[in-house]
Amino acid sequence: MTNDPTAIIREASKNRFSLSWFVPVIAIVITVLLFMQWLANLGPLITVSFEDAGGLTVDSPVMFRGTIVGRVESIELSSDTSRVEVHARLATSATVLAKKKSLWWVVQPSVSLQGVEGLDTIAGPRYIEVLPNGGEPCYSFIGTEKGISFSGKQFTLVTNSADNVTVGAPLYYRGVEVGQVSKLDLSNDSSTVRVTCNVKTKYVPLIRTNTQFWNVSGISLDADLLGIDLHAGPLTSWIKGGIAFATPTNPGDEAPEGYAFAIASKVDTDWLDWSPTIELNGGQP
């Protein structure tokens, strides 16, 4: 019988937790939590379609009240190459801006009879400006070519042709600018043009169900046996086009938002004699 020492070999426990697995698991959990937090902070992705991107690039800002509320993520041509589709990511806090009636436009330097605009983009980047205007949540928009910097009501004007009328064209009452054209589009059956106008809050009471609209772009000349009549709109309308309206001395009911009117090609001289007494919304812009 020998007294040689005998080694005792114990089988390693299969359930023992190894620290070599602990660190990677914790790292994965932290990564997932950070990713979920990043997703939670992402606002909606919107698409704005423009006729011209006006120098926008990836990472160009989306601005509201002088604050960056989003960034352009990508820019591409539409399938028929007729427009430019700009995809922008809004901040979570700016989600409320993505509403159906909101207006979006590219700010860039411009000089006109109405002043100088977009000077900050001469040295800095072009950017998208947004004007919230209510409506249901929406994430796809048709951009306007110019911003409409006031609130009020929208009305629809119908015409056979939008000759000499552009987005941003003024809307006149007795020669005073009371609104602007915010959108041009074809009707669903493409038989007419629908002109969307924004009327400033102060002047909304002027729009009645029997109000008459006509095109005042440029100069018109009427000649007959009794002589020649020359009609010229305001100077701004010669360049940008314009629309004027008159309301009868006995005005109808105040027109609801979205009410549609026809645009006459020229003014009926009787309309110029109308003289209604209508109280405006005092103190409103």
Containing 39, the helix (H) or strand (E) segment is: helix 19-40
pLDDT for 195-228, tens place per residue?
999 899 899 999 999 999 999 865 454 444 444 4
Domain-located, residue 223 = yes
Question: What are the structure tokens assigned to 176, written together?
Answer: 């005073």
CA–CA separation, 263 vs 258, rounded Å?
Answer: 15
* CB-CB contact of 77 with 85 (8 Å): yes
Q: Got the DSSP string for 67-78? A: EEEEEEEEEEE-
Number of domains in the chain: 2
Domain-located, residue 37 = no
pLDDT for 165-175, tens place per residue?
887 789 999 99
Residues 88 and 158 occupy one common structural domain: no
Domain span including residue 245: 152-273
Does residue 118 sit in helix, strand or coil? coil
Answer whether 0.75 is exceeded by the pTM. Answer: no
Q: Percent of the chain scored above 70 by pLDDT?
A: 73
Q: Percent of the chain scored above 90 by pLDDT?
A: 42
Is the pLDDT score of 179 beyond 80? Answer: yes
Domain-located, residue 49 = yes
Domain-located, residue 227 = yes
Nearest Cα to Cα of residue 204 among 162, 239, 152: 152
CA–CA separation, 219 vs 233, rounded Å?
Answer: 7
pLDDT for 119-132, tens place per residue?
444 455 689 999 88
pLDDT for 93-151, tens place per residue?
899 999 988 889 898 755 444 444 554 444 556 899 998 877 899 999 998 866 555 56
Last residue of a domain, one of 142, 167, 182: 142
Residues 157 and 242 occupy one common structural domain: yes
* CB-CB contact of 247 with 206 (8 Å): yes
Calculate the average pLDDT of the chain.
80
Determine the pLDDT at residue 35. 73
Q: Quick one: CA dihedral 59, 61, 67, 69, positive or negative?
A: negative
Determine the pLDDT at residue 146. 62
Domain-located, residue 6 = no
Last residue of a domain, one of 110, 142, 174: 142
Determine the pLDDT at residue 120. 47
* CB-CB contact of 268 with 197 (8 Å): no
